[in-house]
A and B are shown apart, each in its own frame.
Chain A
């Protein structure tokens, strides 16, 4: 399980800067970022080296922050490798609310972050079928 940090932002310039600024002040590394937006507001989602510290740092700038459990998986970085994991979820009727991917310096693996209704159930299905899970501890070490 990965602890994703989500931030509520009104759609106006300077919102993301405020967030990344708060993190850099505290020496927190961003591993992945994804911004979901609608007409009026956006949600900034972050995978960071220290999610609790990130929450405190961003909250102190009058932002609404929440930590959400998301599923992280690690997949060999080659064509077709993602398919297996996604098929497993669909066969088990697990709906993905949203997902995003990131890579690291090593280029050996691609990492996926998935938001599902029941992360425990998804992790069980994936790990029992040989998909590598990524934990918050792994993220800290990346």
Chain B
């Protein structure tokens, strides 16, 4: 059973997709050159005129854009249409600096809603479904993004927003929610809370969930699927490019299809900026080629990922991207080895430990120390210290084989690692005190 929202585009041949993308790209380059000073200056500097962009291959002639550019032009410097045409504003949280402001025209909103509707359709949603939106509503794109797609498809949209877990569970039961949208960590928490409240999730009409806005692992997927008794699907998006729906998982759960008629994905070497082929890990770069109010070309996401053009069993021809494997910023180099927090998380979930952990890196002399604090849980706790030391040693071995280097593992009590509702501090790098360079 494969369902498409726009079958003619979603299953178009590569030739047809290239034709659509080329046409959209050429128009978009002209649009940004004419309307955004930053693009005009950068392109003039490189001696590139919009007429020089004739094919998809010419994309790589264009300069990159970065989060810093968006901060420098805050708030409206990158808008490409008059404010009277902007009908919606969203903003990113600004945890790592000044917040980023983005705008949408009516047409842009329709593109966004369509992208999300494609995801909902791909996981089997129809007008009959009740979409329970537990993403936060507001400037954050999660809540209103899923809301828009659900509305577009004609589902019954339940705009619960985030928080108040017992109310979420009551609504889920009483209103008969069939599809849940939430951050994956919140979905896990909902699952745990349902179990604690004695709710038999197999009796709920809930059947699927769309989870995104933060990194999560296959193990978390399995845990959510089990505790909520649903299929859990991944959605990718970023405020700068559109919001959720830039790429989406289909029923195959084998990577996320990029909505290629609206967005072009590239994978580059973060050091050199050179394009990398299918299958090679690198920084994900996106261009939005149809949105008019806030068009970004070659935006460096700082997410690390891999793409594949291999045929998907769902019939879609859109290129697929992996889950982000880490952040260019989060990448931690310890004793010369590249590490991502997600690798730690994978081991913990496999071994049945809580994914609430903290990595502490320090430098003593010329040697890096590498510690991982992990929460003890009831299942593993023993009243004999020797058993606990054995568990720590066994985890150290598991990490060594997954990461290539061995950390010191400390099992700690559940309240020792600060929990955060937003993005948890997973890495404490004390080496920074030893000078800047």
Number of interface residues of A (CB under 8 A): 23
Known contacts A4-B383, A8-B381: does B388 contact A62 (CB below 8 Å)? no
Point out the residue from B381, B410, B416 that lies within 8 Å of A6, measured CB to CB.
B381
By size class, the interface of chain B is: 10 to 19
Q: What 0/1 readout, one digit per residue, does chain B (374-391) give for beta carbons within 8 Å of chain A?
A: 001110011111001100
B411 within 8 Å of A (CB atoms): yes
A114 within 8 Å of B (CB atoms): no
Q: Which of B376, B383, B384, B414 has most chain A Cβ within 10 Å?
A: B383
- Cα A8 to Cα B385 with chains together (Å): 10
- Cα A97 to Cα B414 with chains together (Å): 26
Q: What 0/1 readout, one digit per residue, does chain A (1-20) give for beta carbons within 8 Å of chain B?
A: 00010101110100100000
A26 within 8 Å of B (CB atoms): no
B415 within 8 Å of A (CB atoms): yes
Contact: B411 with A41, CB < 8 Å?
yes
Contact: A9 with B383, CB < 8 Å?
no
Point out the residue from A8, A38, A68, A115 that lies within 8 Å of B376, measured CB to CB.
A8
Residue on A nearest B409 in the bound complex, by CB: A40
Known contacts A8-B376, A38-B389, A64-B376: does B414 contact A98 (CB below 8 Å)? no
| Chain B residues in 8 Å Cβ range of A142 | none
Residue on B nearest A12 in the bound complex, by CB: B416
Secondary structure of the A side of the interface?
strand
| Chain A residues in 8 Å Cβ range of B381 | 6, 8, 64-66
Point out the residue from A6, A38, A41, A63 that lies within 8 Å of B383, measured CB to CB.
A6
Known contacts A64-B376, A64-B377, A65-B378: does B412 contact A41 (CB below 8 Å)? yes
Contact: B378 with A66, CB < 8 Å?
yes
Contact: B384 with A98, CB < 8 Å?
yes
- Cα A63 to Cα B412 with chains together (Å): 10
Residue on A nearest B389 in the bound complex, by CB: A38
Point out the residue from B385, B388, B411, B413 that lies within 8 Å of A63, measured CB to CB.
B413
A-B residue pairs, 4 tightest by C-beta: A6-B383, A10-B413, A62-B415, A10-B412
What would be 9 A-B contacts, judged by CB atoms less than 8 Å apart?
A: A15-B413, A36-B385, A40-B411, A41-B410, A41-B413, A45-B383, A66-B381, A66-B383, A97-B384
Binding site for B on A (CB under 8 A): 4, 6, 8-10, 12, 15, 36-38, 40-41, 43, 45, 62-66, 68, 97-98, 115
